[in-house]
A and B are shown apart, each in its own frame.
Chain A
Amino acid sequence: MIINHPLLGQRDSSEFTYLGDAKLIERPDPDSETATHDFYKYAYLRDNPAGWHKELWFHEAGDRSWLVVTRNTLTHEISKVEMARDVAREKGRRR
């Protein structure tokens, strides 16, 4: 596969390592009253869609950036590649 890195352009997937569901960005609030349950869901529950899936890839043999790749798990078509850091900020993550 080829991943179209937002900064570096088309790079072979062999330069990347795969983590999984990009929902891992959405780490729950540890101070919430429901934190234990929230973290249980965060750590263990994943969708396994046959189709479009937002997932985290790490450009380990490249610029060491984490990417959010929107990939179709049936066809391997990739429709969007974003810097995970930007996505995290969009989701309101800060320091």
Chain B
Amino acid sequence: MHNLQTITALGGKTPRIDVFDHITIIENDSVALASVTARMGREAGCYKVLQKLLGVVPETGRAVLHNTETGFYMGLDQWMLTAPRVSHELIADQLKKLFGDNASVTEQSGAWVCLDIIGRAMPDMCERLCAVPVRQMVAGDVQRTVIHKMGCFVIRCMANDQLRILGPRSTAATLHHALMTAATSTA
């Protein structure tokens, strides 16, 4: 077993949490991610595995949000699957075994910073960040969009006051700064 320590996307040893009266911003460092794309002509086989894993193939613009494993739509026949990192450090290998030649699987755990926005001002804050109709979205809606020139996934979570934002990991500091300024703006 190696002894290399990870750092979080924001550069800390532990995830960062910022608490305001109206909002809490949590760096979520606990998810492992991998993208799954159906192979040409093998879509049915891919759907079958997805169904087994998630109960349902996530539809266009939708996420399936279970307690541990989740999956969301990225594009045509392409999904991002997530699971707790502690148990799924090797998520890509684990998924590849399940999907076989039905899908291309790519490890994405290091590619994203995951920031959860929780609190009553979540919709106000979202309105200052991106062109997503947050108030019309329902739990499980997901959209890829731009936040201050950064391509991000915006996921409406099960809790009515929670939003998950996945942004490019290298821009974590910029994205976090954008969230913090939006939080103070909407205080």
Listed in ascending order, the chain A residues whose CB lies under 8 Å from chain B are 7-9, 11-12, 14-15, 60-65, 83
Partner of B131, one of A7, A12, A63, A83: A12
Contact A61 B76 (CB under 8 A): no
Residues of B in contact with A, size category: 10 to 19
> Across the interface, which residues of B come within 8 angstroms of A14, CB to CB?
131, 146
Which of A7, A9, A60 contacts B76 (CB under 8 A)?
A7
Supply 5 A–B pairs (Cβ within 8 Å), ascending by A: A7-B61, A8-B143, A15-B144, A63-B74, A63-B78
Assess whether B76 is in contact with A15, with CB atoms less than 8 Å apart.
Answer: no
- Does B151 have its Cβ within 8 Å of any Cβ on chain A? yes
Contact of A8 among B60, B78, B131, B151 (CB under 8 A): B60
Q: How far is the CB of B151 from chain A (nearest CB, A)?
A: 4
52-83 of chain B: CB within 8 A of chain A: 60-61, 74-76, 78
- Secondary structure class of chain B's binding surface, majority of residues: strand
* Chain B residues proximal to chain A, CB less than 8 Å: 60-61, 74-76, 78, 131, 143-146, 151
Given contacts A7-B60, A8-B60, contact A64 B75 (CB under 8 A): yes
Give chain A nearest CB distance to B39 CB in angstroms.
Answer: 14
- Say yes or no: A62 contacts B145, CB within 8 Å: yes
Q: Collect the chain B residues with CB atoms within 8 Å of residue A63's CB.
A: 74-76, 78, 144
Known: A7-B60, A8-B60, A14-B131. A65 touches B145 (CB 8 A): no
* Contact across chains for B75 and A65 when beta carbons are under 8 A apart: yes
Asked if A60 and B151 sit within 8 Å, CB to CB, the answer is yes
The reply to whether B151 and A61 form a contact with Cβ atoms under 8 Å apart is yes
Q: Please, which residue of chain B has its CB at the minimum distance from the CB of A63?
A: B75
The docked-state distance in angstroms from the alpha carbon of A62 to that of B132 is 12
Minimum distance in angstroms from A59 CB to a CB of chain B: 8
Which 10 pairs from chain A and chain B are nearest by CB? Answer: A63-B75, A61-B151, A61-B146, A12-B131, A62-B144, A7-B60, A64-B75, A15-B146, A8-B61, A15-B145
CB-CB under 8 A from B60, the residues of chain A are 7-8
CB distance from A56 to the nearest CB of B (A): 17
Chain B hits for A62, CB < 8 A: 75, 144-145
| B residues in contact with A83, CB < 8 Å | 76
Contacts of A65 in B (CB 8 A): 75-76
Bound CA span A8–B146, Å: 15
CA A64 – CA B60 in complex, angstroms?
Answer: 14
Which chain B residue has the least Cβ–Cβ distance from A95? B40
What is the CA–CA distance of A95 and B136 in the complex, to the nearest angstrom? 41
